[in-house]
Amino acid sequence: MSRAIDRAPARAAVPKPGKAALAVRRFSSLEETKKKATLARMHRITNAICRGMDLSKEVEIVDGLALGDTLLLERGRDLAGFAIYHTPGVSEAPSGALYVKFLAIDPPQRKVEHLTEFVAALETLGQELGIQRVILPVYSRYWLAYNTLVQCGYQIDFTMIRMQRGRQEDYEDPTHLVLDDWR
């Protein structure tokens, strides 16, 4: 799914009273000593979504080769989610588009508001980078995430099919807030 980025000021998220606000920062801005701990926090999230999934190498490659970056969604000291994204140039992101390869909200913290705030942060990042469009891959099996993107104004660009074998419970939980591209 994708959406053209509005040139008007980005949608601002309104934090609920009494809750610590969500903050966004880039993995590349972390000190080298903090990157390893952050990778472990990301692994905890991905492992909760799909046992054994570890995207550490993907994050390190994107960071090391400057293919894009990883955006971290934090509440205080907790990592609420993260998004690995590519920018145009040497990555697989199309010209003029910010391409999210993987985004996940920590299952215990899954709230639609967290996803909409994160999507708004990605759109703001796209504006800062002078990019015209944000592309977010989502499988309709992640129905809550899919429906949220439709409500945010995203439209289907193309359809991908994921073939599965075995029991359905071995795969995606429709309530997880995950956007991924397993190509």
Q: What CATH number does residue 130 fall under?
A: 3.40.630.30
Domain membership of residue 119 (yes or no) is yes
Burial class (CB in 10 A: 0-12, 13-18, 19+), 90: exposed
Instruction: Determine the pLDDT at residue 92.
Output: 84
Per-residue confidence (pLDDT) for residue 143, from 0 to 100? 85
Question: Would you state the pLDDT for residue 58?
Answer: 95
For the chain, the residue count is 183
| pTM of model > 0.75 | yes
Q: Number of folded domains in the chain?
A: 1
pLDDT attached to residue 140 = 79
> What ranges in 6-78 are assigned the alpha helix state H?
32-49, 56-64
Residue 49 domain-assigned (yes or no): yes
pLDDT in tens, 132-182: 999 998 887 788 988 999 999 898 887 766 666 766 665 678 888 988 876
User: What's the confidence (pLDDT) of residue 39?
Assistant: 97
Q: Does residue 105 sit within a domain? A: yes
* Measured distance CA(91)–CA(170) in Å, rounded: 31
**45-121-100 Cα angle (round to 5):** 60
- pLDDT (0 to 100) of residue 105: 95
Domain that holds residue 156: 23-180
In a domain, 89, yes or no: yes
In a domain, 150, yes or no: yes
Q: Give residue 83's pLDDT.
A: 97
Write down the pLDDT at residue 19. 66
Q: Is 18 domain-assigned?
A: no
Does residue 15 fall inside a structural domain? no
pLDDT of residue 179: 87
Residue 140, in any domain of the structure: yes
pLDDT along the chain (183 residues), means of 10: 67 56 94 95 94 93 95 94 93 89 93 94 94 88 88 83 66 82 70
**pLDDT for the residue 157:** 82
> Is 38:60 a contact under the CB 8 Å cutoff?
no
